[in-house]
Structure 1
């Protein structure tokens, strides 16, 4: 479906070019004929190229891009501002400041200053300042608003720019070419088409012509927004479907066989091991833990057995004297004396007392 009809272009005067004495020979391939000293642009080519530009802008916005609308001539100022605001795109319709693209970091500092002045006025801070200083701030804010108000929300260079009258906006076109930013523009018979990426042959001087073409580009931005939103929803659905498919294709985790129930003695052994570990962790030795874990009945049996063994040992010791006990009798003294005399080393020791028997 065509984005615009030939009747609409003819009614807006898009087919009128400049005078024959004011033309660029590079535009010859887009000229249909000459009438009363004015070139007539080939509308058939304009429709085809407009559709190409429409598709490019739509796809750029659908991918998250931004289109900068540029038109500072009086015939295009109002249309550029209205259509850009309608689709939420940045625009420049008062004056193109040198470096708006190539020196964008400096432009961002001026945007910060503009927001500061707006915040001061909104908070009422200017009411506390002297009247002369307030007037100076108001003039500064007005100047920044005229020059940079349309790009207040732009945080990075645009994905493409839409230009009305490339001769007047040659600085913007040169900066875009230097940065590799695509340029979509309406090109009249006095313009150079070689510096434009997406050419739309047409009249850039008539108000209705510029307004119609700018509205078509804005419609492309609006359609791009719709596609971006639908693409985001489709991406979410696709991700969910892919996750579900991956989960279905993934091998099931092997299930562990059910453990057999433990016997009573195994349960008792585990309890004893747990009690021993707990006692060791609490500072109690294993033997003490073992005695503490004995049942009262078992302790009494053990004590009774120990007492019986001790009594039996005592009875046996009383009946049989120990073998080491020396024999008692009349000859025991003589034997002791002989052992004392026979002990070596006593005679040599002067401190050793001498018994009468030894003398």
Structure 2
């Protein structure tokens, strides 16, 4: 487990604590109004006392007597507001005494905020129980190079090997996501659904949490041929059609169907033509290979790389990039799939940054070309002006010569 450290808070002096405790034990939600002659009148309603201010005043002036008024009972049950104020005051008093736990285990953060591949440590893997394997009687001999030792009849997986293989798998996911590949996360065991869905959202990929349908890859056109295919750009946004493109598409479809153009409807985005076929994934991440052997066989048939969590009872050759770890521990599975999802998210953001830089460089290149074209046009225009001026001067000289020749002939 992650080490915990108890930090004690400094409390108030004992005299102030005893005085404050005495105030808490009394009825504090009632007040009396003092008359001009010094006699107390009947209580007319509840008055909320600011005990925090009273404690601060007592701490600043220890010798000063308590200014908290003496409470009196009214002989009636407390209202909801009065009970809430008493509970709030008691909670404020108890919060100042005791200690707080720091660096304690928060199980939900493995899903909502998983660590990045750079934060993989042996302590983190040990705390998640990723090193615990199966009984020695159930082991697969192919996992011998991953096993560290035996304790109480259970194989222990080396933490160094887990960290090395997990970093390699994270680099693979990062590269596929950076190049815009399709990643599928498969986890069909109970409790893995939320972690699988979150990892798929981070990578802008897909997930399967119930059951792998046999033939999804080998017979994809028959199973997924009627599904809608989207055309995305490098920023994972659907490419919108312009008004001219929509008009051309309407005319083409109307001519093919022999209908009027106004009756033909087209989508706002670019659509893949019918008959293109389903798309195969570029990477498959499997969290429980034992229950998804059919999927792994289909991926191997079409040379689709796979990443899988390999326990000591699983054949490591069934996946392309094995991660030797405990696949029965939900905490270990959440940690591994969270790290892979974080790696895919970083790769996707790197692709966005690269696309932004490429667009910026393209704009700069277009500006340079436009500037060069402008300079060239200005030079051509200046040369044309000079040429026109020279032609005009030549015509003027020619007219002068003709005029002089006419004068001389007369």
Q: TM-score, structure 2 length as denominator?
A: 0.50
Cα offset, 1:234, TM superposition: 1.1
Cα offset, 1:90, TM superposition: 0.8
Distance 1:3 1:197, change over 3 A: farther
Corresponding residue of 1:318: none
Q: 2:146 aligns with which of 30, 35, 38?
A: 30
The CA deviation string for residues 221-247 of structure 1, in whole angstroms up to 9 with x for no partner, is 111121111010111123344456677
Distance in 2 of aligned mates of 1:49 and 1:211? 16
Query: Secondary structure of 2:138's match?
Result: coil
Query: Secondary structure of 1:199's match?
Result: strand
Does the CA-based 8 Å contact 1:17-1:39 persist in structure 2?
yes
Cα offset, 1:77, TM superposition: 3.2
The CA deviation string for residues 142-198 of structure 1, in whole angstroms up to 9 with x for no partner, is xxxxxxxxxxxx962211011012121111111111111110111111112223221
Cα offset, 1:108, TM superposition: 1.6
Corresponding residue of 1:65: 181
Does the CA-based 8 Å contact 1:75-1:205 persist in structure 2?
no
Query: Secondary structure of 1:2's match?
Result: helix
Cα offset, 1:2, TM superposition: 2.8
Instruction: State how 1:156-167 maps to structure 2 within 5 Å.
Output: 156-167=279-290
Mapped pair 1:172 → 2:295: yes
Does the CA-based 8 Å contact 1:75-1:210 persist in structure 2?
no
Q: 2:128 aligns with which of 12, 18, 32?
A: 12
Instruction: State how 1:187-202 maps to structure 2 within 5 Å.
Output: 187-202=310-325
The CA deviation string for residues 233-277 of structure 1, in whole angstroms up to 9 with x for no partner, is 1111233444566778999576444222245999xxxxxxxxxxx
Distance 1:110 1:80, change over 3 A: farther
Does the CA-based 8 Å contact 1:24-1:190 persist in structure 2?
yes
Cα offset, 1:56, TM superposition: 1.2
Corresponding residue of 2:352: 229
Distance 1:195 1:241, change over 3 A: farther
Corresponding residue of 2:156: 40
Distance in 2 of aligned mates of 1:75 and 1:17? 19
Instruction: State how 1:1-359 maps to structure 2 within 5 Å.
Output: 2-109=118-225, 111=227, 156-243=279-366, 255-256=383-384, 257-259=386-388, 260-261=391-392, 262=395
Query: Secondary structure of 1:64's match?
Result: coil
Structure 1, gaps ≥5 residues long: 113-153, 267-359
Does the CA-based 8 Å contact 1:165-1:188 persist in structure 2?
no
Distance in 1 of aligned mates of 2:202 and 2:369? 43
The CA deviation string for residues 42-99 of structure 1, in whole angstroms up to 9 with x for no partner, is 1101111111111111121111112100111224234223432454321111011101
Distance in 1 of aligned mates of 2:371 and 2:202? 46
Query: Secondary structure of 2:279's match?
Result: coil
Distance in 2 of aligned mates of 1:41 and 1:233? 43
Distance in 2 of aligned mates of 1:227 and 1:8? 26
Distance in 2 of aligned mates of 1:193 and 1:166? 10
Please tell me the root mean square deviation across aligned C-alpha atoms, in Å. Answer: 2.8
Does the CA-based 8 Å contact 1:87-1:221 persist in structure 2?
yes
Does the CA-based 8 Å contact 2:221-2:278 persist in structure 1?
no
Structure 2, gaps ≥5 residues long: 1-116, 229-276, 400-410
Structure whose alpha-carbon radius of gyration is higher = 1
Distance 1:86 1:60, change over 3 A: closer
Does the CA-based 8 Å contact 2:199-2:337 persist in structure 1?
yes
Distance in 2 of aligned mates of 1:231 and 1:75? 36
More displaced 10-residue stretch of structure 1: 80-89 or 67-76:
80-89
Distance 1:249 1:86, change over 3 A: closer
Does the CA-based 8 Å contact 2:225-2:278 persist in structure 1?
no
Distance in 2 of aligned mates of 1:70 and 1:34? 30
Corresponding residue of 2:98: none
**Paired positions, count:** 225
Distance 1:155 1:62, change over 3 A: farther
Query: Secondary structure of 2:168's match?
Result: helix
Does the CA-based 8 Å contact 2:129-2:332 persist in structure 1?
yes
Does the CA-based 8 Å contact 1:162-1:185 persist in structure 2?
yes
Distance in 1 of aligned mates of 2:145 and 2:371? 60
